[in-house]
Every structure is written in structure tokens, then in C-alpha cells.
Amino acid sequence: MNCIFCKIIQKEIPSTIIYEDEHTLVFMDIAKDVDGHMLAIPKKHVKNILDCDTETLHHLMNTVQKVSQHCIDCGYDGVNLLNASGESAGQSVPHFHIHIIPRKHQDGIDAWPHFNGALTHPEILFQLLKM
């Protein structure tokens, strides 16, 4: 399969691995856009959260929690967890991944998206989205 993250899992291309177990891998993002930017991925190739079976999701989120706690143990105060599922959401690599960004108080990192303002009345969206 021509998937860059599968190639990282297979060690066919290099990566800086932070954590690895039977089902998951966490490695440094190459973007150099923010300090400590990591990606947590399942070893099973699934495209994103919409494509992910419960067991794989469970393994991935367990690892995300473990690495998040590790960040705290390393002296950080919190983490941002980011995910894009689907091209419309900005997903550029079609292998499920959670971005983990370690945070410190007053580190000046702006990790929250800047939205443009709601266009539709909340009641209409409530009716659309309620389950």
C-alpha cells in the first residue's frame, strides 16, 4: 500500500519514534511548526475516525492518553489533541492520526482554530445534528 504512515510503521522510511506497542506508534511530526508536535497512529491502516473499528480506536486513544501523561511527567502542563477526518476537514495523510502538542502555561502557542463566525441559526443546526 502506498501509504506514508504504513511505510513508517514498516520502518521503510525513517521516523523519530516516541512510543511503540503492538497496535500503535507515536512519532515526531516533520512539520517543525510547533515544539513537540507528535502524531499517534494505529498500526492497522484505517483512513480516519469514520473508518475506524472500536478496538483500533480503543488502542489508539489508550496510547494518546499514555503519551499525554508522559508529557506531563516530562514537565508539560497539558496537551492539545487535534484530528482532521476527511479531506473537507483538512486531512492530508489518509491514515488515521491524532496530533499531540504538549503545552506549558504561557507558552504562547495558539493551537485553537480561528473560526469565521456561525452562518446558520443554532436551532437549525441543533435540529440537524441532534441524535
Residue ranges in contact with ligand AMP by CB under 6 A: 4, 15, 29-31, 39, 84, 90-93
Q: Please choose which of ligand AMP, Zn ion, none residue 30 contacts, taking the beta carbon within 5 to 8 angstroms, the exact cut-off set by kind.
A: ligand AMP
Single out the catalytic residue among 37, 95, 97, 99. 97
φ/ψ bin of 124: left (φ > 0), alpha (ψ from -120 to 50), beta (otherwise): alpha
Give the residue at shortest CB distance from Zn ion. Answer: 3
Task: Give the closest residue to 36 by CA, choosing from 83, 12, 70, 84.
Answer: 70
Q: 34: number of CA atoms within 13 Å, CB side?
A: 17
Of the candidate spans 24-32, 44-52, 63-71, 109-117, the one that interacts with Zn ion by CB under 5 A turns out to be 44-52
Q: Least separation, in Å, of the C-beta of 10 and Zn ion?
A: 10
CB of 120 to ligand AMP, least distance (A): 26
| Residue 81 sits in the site that holds Zn ion (CB under 5 A) | no
Interaction of residue 5 with Zn ion, rule CB under 5 A? yes
24-28 β-sheet, strand order: 17-20, 24-28, 38-42, 98-103, 78-82
Does the annotation count 23 as an active-site position?
Answer: no
| Contact criterion met (CB below 8 Å) for 41 and 53 | no
